[in-house]
A and B are shown apart, each in its own frame.
Chain A
Amino acid sequence: MHSHFLLLVLFAFFVSLVFALLAKDDPKEQLRFGGMMFAGFVGAAVVLGWLMYPFPF
């Protein structure tokens, strides 16, 4: 498994899942919180990746 993006998505999934389970008790709220956190992780990584694209190092 050498795809950085796949590893990033997998990492975001696991961390979001655990935080959603810890932070919320209601399954609907867990799904909403976890989904938002997952989207935030992946979205932020993609945006930061593009912002860093012009840098040579």
Chain B
Amino acid sequence: MRAKTVEETQAGSLVLLCLAAWAIPGVGHLWQGRRAKGLLFLIVLPVMFAIGLGIHGQLFPFDFSDPLVGLACLADFGIGLPYFIASALGLGVGDVRAVTYEYGNAFVMTAGLLNFLVVIDAYDIALGRK
């Protein structure tokens, strides 16, 4: 029974770790003492997201009536808290007439998708696989 409690505690802290790693890019690595990697993720991913918004990238709405828009939203969502901050500030409206619109979308979506990979990496480190 004690082993089960320990397992539950570990599972709980793993969920918390993954949520923190998703919400703030790099925090999962910082939490586990991987300072250099954590700091680089903390800087690089939000900067990439911000550049995407700066060159007229769009934050797509959660709308699965158009599957591509829904998938783009999931990719955007991957960056965590910066997504909500940008939405709250009214950023990411997107300007389809801008030359850099598609580039901006590529930056914003890729930053989110890369953060998903960073979360998986933090999870692997927590499990002792790396």
Interface residues of chain A, those whose CB is within 8 Å of chain B, are 1-2, 4, 7, 10-11, 14-15, 17-18, 21-22, 25
Contact = CB atoms under 8 A, between A and B. Distances in A.
A18 B114 contact: yes
Interface of B: 37, 40-41, 44-45, 47-48, 51, 54-55, 99-100, 103, 106-107, 110-111, 114, 117-118, 121, 130
15 contacts: A1-B54, A2-B100, A4-B103, A7-B100, A11-B103, A11-B110, A14-B47, A14-B111, A15-B114, A17-B44, A18-B45, A18-B114, A21-B40, A22-B117, A22-B121
B44 A18 contact: yes
Nearest to B48: A14
A15 B52 CA distance: 13
A17 B55 contact: no
Contacts of A1: 54-55, 100
Given A7-B100, A10-B51, A14-B111, 15 more contacts: A1-B54, A2-B99, A2-B100, A7-B55, A7-B103, A14-B44, A14-B48, A14-B110, A15-B114, A17-B40, A18-B41, A18-B44, A21-B40, A22-B121, A25-B130
A18 B100 contact: no
In the A-B complex, the 9 residue pairs with the smallest Cβ-Cβ separation, listed nearest first, are A14-B48, A7-B103, A18-B114, A22-B121, A21-B37, A2-B99, A17-B44, A14-B44, A22-B117
